[in-house]
């Protein structure tokens, strides 16, 4: 059984979680050999409207369809 995959999405205007923390999380997971994908959505805040955009939803749907 394959280990679980991870999808990391970060809003480029996120004021709660610094961008470098997402980068460190991604790098750590990759160094452990995990299947991890990282997307940055430039005009999006923390868990805000940009994550409900057509682009964001398409990224999630495509990511899921590749793994299911």
Output the pLDDT for position 5. 93
> What range does the domain containing 25 cover?
6-67
58 assigned to some structural domain = yes
1 assigned to some structural domain = no
| Number of structural domains found in the chain | 1
CB atoms within 10 A of CB 44: 21
Output the pLDDT for position 29. 95
Q: Which residue has the higher pLDDT, 1 or 38?
A: 38
User: pLDDT tens digit string along 34-62?
Assistant: 999 999 998 888 877 778 889 999 999 99
Instruction: Answer yes or no: are the C-beta atoms of 34 and 66 closer than 8 Å.
Output: no
Residue 26 clears pLDDT 90, i.e. is over it? yes
User: pLDDT tens digit string along 3-15?
Assistant: 789 999 999 889 8
CB atoms within 10 A of CB 42: 9
């Amino acid at each position: 059984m394959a280990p679980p995959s991870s999808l990391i999405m970060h809003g480029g205007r996120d004021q709660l979680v610094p961008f470098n923390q997402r980068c460190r999380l991604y790098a750590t997971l990759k160094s452990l050999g995990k299947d991890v994908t990282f997307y940055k959505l430039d005009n999006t805040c923390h868990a805000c409207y940009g994550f409900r955009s057509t682009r964001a939803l398409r990224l999630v749907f495509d990511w899921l369809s590749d793994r299911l």
